[in-house]
Structures are given as structure tokens and as C-alpha cells.
Amino acid sequence: MKQLLLVFAFLASIFQIHSQENLPTDYLTKEFHQGRREAFRALMPANSVAVVFSYPERVFSRDIDYTYHANPDMYYLSGYKEPDAVLLIFKEAQGPEKYNEVLFVREKNATREMWTGRRLGIEGAKSKLGFSNVYNGKDFNAFAIDFSKFDKVIYDRIPTDVAENNSPDNLYSLFKSFKSKAGITQADETSTGLFDKITSSLREIKTPEELVLMRKTVKLSCIAHNEVMKAVGPDMSENEADGIHAYIHKHYGAEGEGYAPIVGAGANGCILHYWENNATKIDNQLLLMDVGSEYHGYSADVTRTIPANGKFSEEQKAIYQIVYDAQEAVFKICKEGTPLVALNETAKDVIAKGLIKLGIITDPKDVKLYYPHGCSHFLGLDVHDKGIFNGPQTLIKENMILTVEPGIYIPPNSKCDKKWWNIGVRIEDDILMLKDSYENLSIDSPRKWQDIEALAKQKSTFNEMKFPKI
């Protein structure tokens, strides 16, 4: 047994010596994250401290966890992507050392890293993330901080479903220690609201560094949509179309998708958040694909609706054209200063008139039966990203990224002519708002029905792939 332990220790030491090679070189820099902390600090009230926790790990099956996804706010402010961590940001410099931030991280553990991957540890957080004051998570409980001396302690909502664990360095213990130190018996809504307001005001405006990643994640998502347009056929399954997206994303270095892909044929495309993607044949129906990659934390959100047989029917074309016209109308007002609610009102008006013209509805108010969602949301680190919305007075700002995604969904048994049933159309693009105009980040994937039909005639590499029958 002793010899076995020595072997494990030796292997662990080898693992630690050799750093991981061939990593991407386009991650956000430590200077970016430092700049975001400075921007956060500038918005903090006097004599305050902000406390930011990592997200918990979640169980997938028994003793297997889901692939870990970092808290976007923790990542935004620190670059740290591991669980069991807490970041303190001070408005004013603290103590004789004049420090204004402290990061507590997962402790290095050679044996655990053999099983579950590398950890940055203290030295890694210092060298790669640019922090001067870094400690192991287990040291947080003994860390000398008197929260009562601050006029405001700012923190995000603390999850209530984190499994109890008495180990001193896990997230449960960090939460427990913080609440004890800060005298918190229940969440202070003014503190959590202030945290959300500060992070929302920062994250709704994208920096040049973020725009580089956003352009890339959207572009590679467009390539994936285009490849499915070329490869699709009536005998293809929804799951297979989903898989083409996933392969293209991975091919270009994306970590995965920014949300559960929605790939629905016919009536399935009329379900707004259809996630099963398990129809074995698309048949001669429309295929609605709402799929976006996640590249280095940043999510695309692109939707295209295509005919599986490569050609729109007259009914499909009529509905598609209304959605396209609604999107075009919204684009015309995409710029700084436009009320955010105007985007949806514009889309709704065009769709209502179009449906009335086709005889599907007679009253404009009934548009909500077939267009039940809003037209736009913020996009970035989260697919439904943070941003400040205060009703009709909220104006679009330069360097916001918003989706523009009108749609029409006519499920079976709708109160209209049966020829319209099972037609679901959404066209969604990712729009960077400029001073006097906009940039369509997802322009590389065709939107006009004529262009989609033209692309469908091209050959796809995936059509040539042959696999054994099972």
C-alpha cells in the first residue's frame, strides 16, 4: 500500500512539473480583469467592500458533476474559473499594506489534480491573474476582517441549495464563514441589488477586448448554421443537426454552447424553448435552430429557420417573409438613444399587420397568440446577459450587444386555416449598437429566404460522411 501511495505521489509530482501546453492564446488578459475591478471599485459607495463567490459544482449523476461553469461575475472581475473561491474588493485601501483586493482560491493538491484537473493555486493566481494578495480558501475563516466597520457590504445572492460540507475550504464553508463574519441572517436586498446594479451597468457595455471574443463566437456560430443549411435533408434527425453545430463549435475552439441548443422541426419549432431535439426525421418541414457557441465565456445567440428539403413552401415563405420584414424594420432604429422597448413594439406592429393580411388574425391584439416573446435581450457572458432595464425610459447605449429576434409560431390546432399549422419561424441576429447605426455580428449567415435556398444547394462535408449501421 505504501509503495502504491509513493507511485501516486511521484505521478502527481510529474503532473505538476509539466504545465499544460498548446493552450489558446486569445483569452482575456489579466490587465482586462484588473481594469474591470477598477471600474467596479469606482462605482462602489464610500467605505464599502464587495464580496464575490464562485459558483458551486452541480451533480450530473451520482458521483459525476456537470462540466463546471464559472460565475460570470467572478470571471469578469478576476479571470478565475474554478469553484470554492471568494473575492473581496475594497473601495479604499486597507491596513498598513494598503491592499484593495484579496482573492481566496482552491488549494493546490497534487493527488486531486491527477483526478480532476489542474488548479491555479496561490502562485498561479498571482502570476496569471495579477493578484498580489491571494490565500487558500481554508484561510478565509481566520482572515482578519471586520465587516461591521464598513458602511456597506455588497454581495450577490447566496445560493441556498449548496450541499452542507464541513471541510474548511469548500463553498458551503465560505458562505457560512462570510455570513458569520458579516452578521447576516438573511440576505440584504439593498446589498444584493447594488451588486447587481454595478455589474449590470458594467457588463451591458462591451469593451474592445470583449468585442473581439463576441465577434469570434458569433462568427463561428454562423459557420455552423451555414453548414447545417447545406447538409440538412428530410431524413436528417434533429439530434444530428444539433451535432453538426457542436462539431463546428469545437472545431473552432469553442468550449461548447452558451445555452441548451434548440433544434426543432415543424411543430417542435413552435415550442419556444424546445430542448429535446429527438425527432428522428425532420421530414419536409421547417427546421428552427436557435444555437450559439460559447467561446472563452462569451455566448452567441443565433437563430435560423430553414426548409429541410431546401425550398420553402408558399405558406412557409409567407410567414418567413413577415418575420424577416419585422427584423428589417427593427434594424432601422438600432442605434444609441432609441428606447429599448421600441424594438419589440416595432416588431410586433409589423407581425400583426402581416398576420392580418394573411387572415390568420383579425385583431392586432391577437398578435401575442403567435408572437408571445420579446424581440431583444442583452448578450455577452450570459446568453441573457446582465444589463439595466428600467422600463420605457431605458435607452440603447453605444457598445451594447442586443439580440433582434422576432418570430411567428403556429402550433397545430391553432384558430386559423390548417395550412398554417406547424410553421414556426424565428430569425435572430446579434447586434452591436453604435452611435448612429449598428453592426450585425451574425451577418455571415444568410437571412433572406432566397439566399437560404441558394446555400442549401451547396454540398456539405457532412453529406459525405459514412458510418457503420447499428
Ordered by start, the domain boundaries in the chain are 24-203, 208-464
pLDDT at 3: 53
pLDDT of residue 9: 47
Four-CA torsion 161, 163, 168, 171, nearest 10 degrees: -40
CATH number (3.90.230.10, 3.30.70.100, 3.20.20.70, 3.40.50.300) of 208-464 reads 3.90.230.10
pLDDT value of position 133:
98
Model pLDDT, residue 270:
98
Instruction: From 92, 98, 103, 95, select the one nearest 131 (Cα to Cα).
Output: 103
Question: Do 208-464 and 24-203 fall under one CATH topology?
Answer: no
**pLDDT of amino acid 19:** 57
Asked if 397 and 342 count as a contact pair (C-beta separation under 8 A), the reply is no
- Cell numbers standing for residue 273: 424553448
- Could you give the C-alpha distances from 220 to 49, 214, 217, 253, in angstroms and in order? 39, 10, 6, 9
Local confidence pLDDT in tens for the 470 residues of the chain: 445 444 444 444 444 444 567 899 999 999 999 999 999 999 999 999 999 999 999 999 999 999 999 999 999 999 999 999 999 999 999 999 999 999 999 999 999 999 999 999 999 999 999 999 999 999 999 999 999 999 999 999 888 889 888 888 899 999 999 999 999 988 788 899 999 999 999 999 999 999 999 999 999 999 999 999 999 999 999 999 999 999 999 999 999 999 999 999 999 999 999 999 999 999 999 999 999 999 999 999 999 999 999 999 999 999 999 999 999 999 999 999 999 999 999 999 999 999 999 999 999 999 999 999 999 999 999 999 999 999 999 999 999 999 999 999 999 999 999 999 999 999 999 999 999 999 999 999 999 999 999 999 999 999 988 899 99
Q: What CATH number labels 24-203?
A: 3.40.350.10
Please give the model's pTM, rounded to 2 decimal places. Answer: 0.94
Catalytic residue numbers, as ranges:
63, 273, 290, 301, 373, 377, 384, 405, 409, 426, 428
DSSP letter (8 states) at residue 370: T
